[in-house]
Amino acid sequence: MSIRKNGCGCGCGCFHGILSLILSLVIIAAVILTVREAFYQYTYPVKYSSYVEDASAELGVPETLIYATIQVESHFDPEARSEVGARGLMQITEETFDWLRTKETFGADLTFEDLDKPDVAINYGTYFLQILLQEFDGDVPTAMAAYHAGRGSVHSWLEQAKYSSNGRTLDEIPKDDTAFYVQKIERAMGVYEKRLKEQAEENENVHRLRVNFAKFVDAYVVPLLDNLFDKIGERFGNKLQALTFLVGAGR
C-alpha cells in the first residue's frame, strides 16, 4: 500500500526557507545600516553646517577639514574648555585669538569669551587653518601638527633632516601626541568626505523626487481634477437649472 503525503512537497518548503533567509538578511542589513548611521551621527555629526559652509567658501578651507577639526577638538561642544584655557568649537587659546585679531576681525567688539559662539569660533578657527595651510604649502598633516603643537615647534622640526626631507613639510612627527592628533584629523576628514558626499547625493535624490512628483502632478493629477470638477460643476449646474425651473413653475 502506498501512502500519499499531504502538503506541497519539498519544493514549497525550500521556497519558504529561501524566502525566510532573504527576509532575515534584509532585516539584518537594515539593522546594521541603522546602527552604522546612529554611530556616525553621534561620533561624526554634521552640525553648524551653514557656518562651516560660509567659512569654507570665504576662506578657501575644505569643509572636511573644518568639520574634522571641530570633531577632534571639541566634539561639537561650543562651550568646551581645555586644560590650557583654549575654548570654543575649535579650541583656540587666548594668545592665538589675540594674534588672529591683529590680522583679521570678524566683529569689532568681539572678545575671547565670544569664542563660545559657534559662528565666531568657526570663523576664527577656519581663518587659523587658512594661515597654517598657506604657511606650510597646503600640506594638511604639517599644518595640523602646527595647530596642535604650535608653529614654532613645527618650524624647528622642519629644520631637521630626519623629520623633513624638503624643509617645508614633515615626513615624520616626533611628538607622539601630535602624531596621534594628526592621524585623528586625517581619519575624521575621510569620514566627513564620505558623509558629505552621501548627504549631497541624498539631497539630489530628494530634489529629483520632488521635481518628478511635480511633473507627475502637472501631467496627470491636475488634468484629472480639472475634468472631475468640470463634470461636478456641469451636473450641479444642470440640477440648479432644473430646480429653478420647478420653483418658477410652482409659482
Q: Which residues are catalytic?
A: 73
φ/ψ of residue 47, rounded to 5? -120, 160
CA distances 138 to 25, 91, 161, Å, are 45, 21, 20
All cell numbers assigned to 22: 532573504
d(CA 143, CA 154): 9
DSSP 187-221: HHHHHHHHHHHHHHHHHHHHHHHHHHHHHHIIIII
d(CA 186, CA 71): 11
Residue 66 in contact with residue 52, Cβ under 8 Å? yes
In whole angstroms, what separates CA 182 from the centre of its chain? Answer: 21
- Which residue type occupies 10? C
The length of the chain, given as a count of residues: 251
